Copies of this chain bind each other. A is one copy, B any other.
Amino acid sequence: MHKSTPRRAQESHRPKVVVVGGGFGGVRVAKALARTDVEVTLVDRTNHHLFQPLLYQVATGILPPGLIAPALRRVVRKERNTRTVLAEVHDIDLERKVVRAATPTAQEIELPYDYLVVAGGATHAYFGHQQWSQFAPGMKTIEDARTLRSHILGAYELAELATDDTERAAYLTFVVVGAGPTGVEIAGQLAELARHVLPEDYRSIDTRRAKIVLLDAGPSVLPPFAPKLQRYTRRRLEAMGVEVRLNTAATDTDAESIAVRSSAGQERIVARTKIWAAGVQASPLAAMLAKATGTPTDRAGRLAVGPDCSLPGADGVYAIGDMVTTADRLPGVAQVAMQQGTYVGKRIADRVKGDTSTPTPFRYVDKGSMATIGARQAVAQVRGVTITGYLAYLLWRYVHVMFLVGWGNRLGTLYDWLRSLRHARNRGHRLIGLTGAQAVEEMPQAA
């Protein structure tokens, strides 16, 4: 049933490039190598290429998961020298130049390489309190977003079933930890849900009275943005009914509440739904490579790679994206990972062609940052120019749609956005998808 056994045998003399991680960085490496005479293996533990910046829209029922997570094979179908492998990498042998991974049926496979690019990404950090993750889940994978959607919509269902006011209030309180772009976006959408989408669907509760709290340990929302945009965002959030609490750190959480500390002292907020959008913790692959080569990592576990994204002390090995840190401390955003991916792909192509010169260091071109606040509101800064309001929202929409993979997903996303904005402010994808008995395990629970 092999399609091309003879050609394969011939191909095996070409240099092998293994790319670990099918996110923004990894896919760009494969694309940059499309016309180079190498064999690329793109290994990922999921079958899809996730557009993380729109995950919060899945969590709040605007977009279906499929539109922001096309099949990884489909994304690289035109890169005929790239094959994708669904497996989880657990070991990298730099001596033998082999990546070891486990397939979904727990079968061990070895992927030999001549060049290796590790793009394992990062997740949120619970700052040493990993046990909080069960009560305040993060949002980094499609499964995370689906679980959150069940939590959020389930909380309203349970609020309506609640028999006393205290319990009802606990279900109708939503706390978002971390006021970076993800935290701001999810808090804004929670406010939209409560005030505009759900009210007419409920009979015995007034969803508009739901309390949405956005916490941050730092002094401002959207820390990397210009102060003017930070102030604008905070005002907009407050106008939408979000309670913004800055200089306030989470100190503990359980099924029913979250404890916070600020200059006003300690407090326990009773809330069944907590969403974690704070901190950064690099993929464990960073620590593995650090240990094997003696390369330092920063506090978030990110590898300190060289100016050409190479791993010091391991020839032909590169690391890119959210799991690395560079001398110029680039932000952990998709643009950096993509540009690094393209850079490393080209660098490998040059080396395959015999280039042994010292490479020009990687240089990040900042194309601007943006974040949405709620429906029709956003902030953006592009090379010192700041934009706010509806115009920024249109810009945000344009940029995000264009970065989705494939016209089918772009149009589909535009359609769902139009629907959420205009058509009775509906959300098309409100599936909890759990039957009674199962839901008990997934939903915010009584202790």
Contacts and interface: CB of A to CB of B under 8 A. Distances in A.
A129 interface: no
Interface stretch (A84-92, A224-232, A291-299): A84-92
A45 interface: yes
Nearest to A90: B436
B432 A47 contact: yes
Contacts of A1: 165, 168-169, 172, 205-206, 209
Interface string A337-376: 0000000000000000000000000000000000000000
A46 interface: yes
A85 B159 CA distance: 11
Contacts of A106: 440
Contacts of A64: 64-67, 429
Contacts of A104: 154, 157-158, 434, 436, 439-440, 443
A201 B75 CA distance: 9
A261 to B, nearest CB: 28
Interface stretch (A28-36, A180-188, A401-409): A401-409
Contact of A205 (B2, B103, B157, B433): B2
Contacts of A437: 45, 88, 102
B415 A411 contact: yes
A416 interface: yes
A202 B440 contact: no
A275 interface: no
Given A1-B168, A201-B73, A202-B73, A86 B157 contact: yes
A322 to B, nearest CB: 17
Contacts of A157: 47, 86, 104
A96 interface: no
Nearest to A200: B77
Nearest to A87: B436
A45 B85 CA distance: 38
Interface in A401-447: 406-409, 411-412, 415-416, 419, 423-424, 426, 428-440, 443, 445-446
Contact of A45 (B66, B430, B436): B436
Nearest to A109: B161
Quickly give the copy total for this chain. 2
A211 to B, nearest CB: 10
Given A77-B201, A165-B1, A48 B433 contact: yes
Contacts of A86: 154, 157-158, 161, 432, 436, 439
A8 B160 CA distance: 14
A12 interface: no
B66 A143 contact: no
A205 B8 CA distance: 12
Contacts of A158: 86, 103-105
A277 interface: no
Contact of A428 (B3, B154, B409, B435): B409
B202 A434 contact: no
Max chain B Cβ within 10 angstroms of own Cβ: one of A158, A406, A428, A437: A428
Interface in A189-248: 200-206, 209
B407 A416 contact: no
Nearest to A46: B435
A87 B154 CA distance: 12
Contact of A445 (B105, B141, B143, B424): B105
Closest 8 CB pairs of A and B: A88-B436, A66-B429, A64-B64, A104-B439, A73-B201, A45-B436, A71-B430, A47-B432
22 contacts: A1-B205, A1-B209, A3-B202, A46-B433, A47-B430, A64-B64, A69-B431, A70-B428, A73-B202, A74-B430, A85-B161, A86-B154, A101-B436, A103-B158, A104-B157, A104-B436, A104-B443, A105-B440, A142-B431, A146-B433, A408-B426, A412-B415
Interface of A: 1-4, 8, 45-48, 61, 64-67, 69-71, 73-74, 77, 80, 83, 85-88, 101-107, 109, 141-143, 146, 153-154, 157-158, 160-161, 163, 165, 168-169, 172, 200-206, 209, 406-409, 411-412, 415-416, 419, 423-424, 426, 428-440, 443, 445-446
